[in-house]
Amino acid sequence: MNRRLLSEIKWVRRLLVVTVGLGLAAGLLIIVQAVFLTHIVDSVFLRKSSLTQVWPSLQMLLGAIALRAAFGWFSEVIALRVAIRVKAQLRMQLLAHLFRLGPAFVHREQSGELVNTAFEGVEQLEPYLARYLPQVSLSALIPLAILVVVFTRDWVSGVIMVVTAPVIVLFMILIGKTAQSAADKQWRAMSILSGHFFDVLRGLTTLKLFNRSRFQADVIQRMSEDYRTTTMGTLRVAFLSSFVLELMATLGTAMMAVAIGLRLLSGHMTFADGFVILLLAPEFYAPIRAIGTQYHASVSGVTAAERILDILSTKPAGLEDNPDGERPDLKQADLAQVEFRDVSFAYERERPAVRHVNFSIALGEKVAIVGATGSGKSTLIHLLLGFLRPDSGAITVAGVPLGEMDVKWWREQVSYVPQTAQLFRGTVADNLRIAKSDASLQDLQTACKLASVDEFINGLPSGYETSVGDMGVGLSGGQMQRLALARAFLKDSGILILDEPTAHLDVVNESTVEAVLDQLLGARTTFIVAHRLSTIYHADRILVLDNGAIVGEGRHHELWQNNPHYRKLLRAYQGRASRDDTVGPDRDVRTDRRNAK
């Protein structure tokens, strides 16, 4: 029994109380059934009683059978309904916790495996919750009640039961460990297969371009074969355990039958006592056999529950919502809008991603952050958004430490435009309203005009109600980026974070998007993760990152003259490392673009 699951979800306890109560009532009716059936058989065949004489006992027997069936039906229905509710609650709890963990956690995990856990893994819990957990309690309570009745009638049969039952349990435990190991392998194989298949679907275009789709099909086939092999191994263990449990229960019943038969022949036992014990013997072993069967039916759920609980027990690396936190006035020009004070952070202790970062950005200032891949640019942004918590130092906003603020409110003050826009399955309007859920159609149209995307949207079959596929399927890169910019206009926040939204666009789309950016920047306080010179020239100040530390700070011409890291980056960005004279402090990127056209 998974105690972690019981402690995490209170509905599981209610499930146990209801189903065990009904199951125990049905188990006690088995004893009543056996007693009345024995009385009827003894009265009719040995005492020659008439139908009238045994009629009350027949009515009681029929009533016990009907009640037992009703209790069994109610137990099954309630268990399944509560299990469905527990699954829904657990899935929402899991998804809510994934949202709390944020991008920092999700980016370290395999997307397909998380999807498999959140949906298929939760579904696997139903047999574990609805059948296995109740059966654990019933396998102890019902045999105990039968054992009490048997000891009152024949102590020898009671001793046989006491001796044989632990042997069955011992075999069940030994086989159960093997089954759990096989189930763990099966779950890992399924998670690997799901994750890889998800990655292949997302990268199908790349695979086609490099003629590697057939190779990946072969890889998936091998993974599917591994999954088939592990599944068959799990089934073999399940069938073996069922055979062993049935064999041991049959031998125990046979031993009692032989002992009872010998004593009946010798006259040391009455027919009524022997018959009722023989009727109860299979029912004594039935719950123990059932727990073995239900365990193997739910073994995947046990493994899935461990993974789910591991995720739920993971502590968020970032700041958590604090509705009572402070909400500073972000329009006070006398305060630095954002300040990093000796901030350090490491994903792994030996490799810090950000080291002793100090800088501030004033109201309305535009700061560009440049650096090679892995220099810590994205980590700085995640720290600013509260997705990560600094290991040391502090981040303040208008003089208030970020950890003391209402983080949800703080994120509402920030607009973020990434390199690649994230669109979700739904309409164009649904995707725009992610920025402002109560936005009217007029608000959407105004934002889209500012982002130069309204003409494209009006040309769609249903305009703003046109459906777009997952990841923006059906839209070009430039259209998706302009929709992301429209969201930023719609949110209209005072702080803007740009992760170079023109990095993956062609010259034409880049020119359109940059024209929109000029409008969007306005008087907003802006952080720009820069990859292109055009973005750098927009900045009032440039921060140069190298191995997580700031190694240069200033305007473009100052850094060009005094900072070798900056010069190296510019050459790399321009792709002209051999022609230093084409990149300089006074170079106008817009002129370069006009010449390129």
Q: What does the mean pLDDT of the chain come to?
A: 79
Which SS3 state, helix, strand or coil, does residue 554 take?
A: strand
More confident residue, 344 or 450: 344
Q: Which two tokens stand for residue 233?
A: 């191994």
CATH fold of 419-492 = Rossmann fold (3.40.50)
DSSP state of 389: -
- Residue intervals of the chain classified under CATH 3.40.50.300 are 325-413+494-597, 419-492
Query: Per the CATH hierarchy, to which homologous superfamily does domain 325-413+494-597 belong?
Result: P-loop containing nucleotide triphosphate hydrolases (3.40.50.300)
User: How much is the pLDDT for 68?
Assistant: 86
Please name the residue that has the structure tokens 């993971």: 314
Q: The pTM is what?
A: 0.66
More confident residue, 27 or 393: 393
Which SS3 state, helix, strand or coil, does residue 546 take?
A: strand
Characterize the bridge pairing of strands 541-546 and 366-371: parallel
More confident residue, 151 or 165: 151
Q: Which two tokens stand for residue 422?
A: 């994230």
Per-residue three-class SS string for 457-475: HHCCCCHHHCEECHHHCCC
CA distances from 489 to 173, 418, 448, 520, 589 (A): 62, 14, 8, 7, 25
Q: Does domain 3-313 have CATH number 1.20.1560.10?
A: yes
**499 in Cβ contact with 461 (< 8 Å):** no
**165 in Cβ contact with 143 (< 8 Å):** yes
pLDDT over threshold 50, residue 596? no
pLDDT over threshold 70, residue 373? yes
User: How much is the pLDDT for 340?
Assistant: 93
Rounded Cα distance, 474 and 482, in Å: 14
When pLDDT is cut at 50, 70 and 90, the band that residue 592 belongs to is very low
Which SS3 state, helix, strand or coil, does residue 381 take?
A: helix
Rounded Cα distance, 487 and 483, in Å: 6
Give pLDDT tens digits for 298-340. 666 777 777 888 888 888 888 777 777 788 877 665 556 789 9
For residues 546-575, average pLDDT? 84
Which SS3 state, helix, strand or coil, does residue 522 take?
A: coil
- Of 179-193, 279-293, 567-581, minimum mean pLDDT range: 567-581
For residues 121-147, average pLDDT? 80
- Counting every residue, how long is the chain? 597
pLDDT over threshold 60, residue 386? yes
Enumerate residues 6+ apart whose C-beta is below 8 A from 131.
79, 294, 297, 298
User: How much is the pLDDT for 574?
Assistant: 64
Give pLDDT tens digits for 176-211. 666 667 766 777 777 777 777 777 776 776 677 667
Characterize the bridge pairing of strands 525-529 and 366-371: parallel
User: How much is the pLDDT for 343?
Assistant: 92
- Residue intervals of the chain classified under CATH 1.20.1560.10 are 3-313
For residues 408-424, average pLDDT? 84
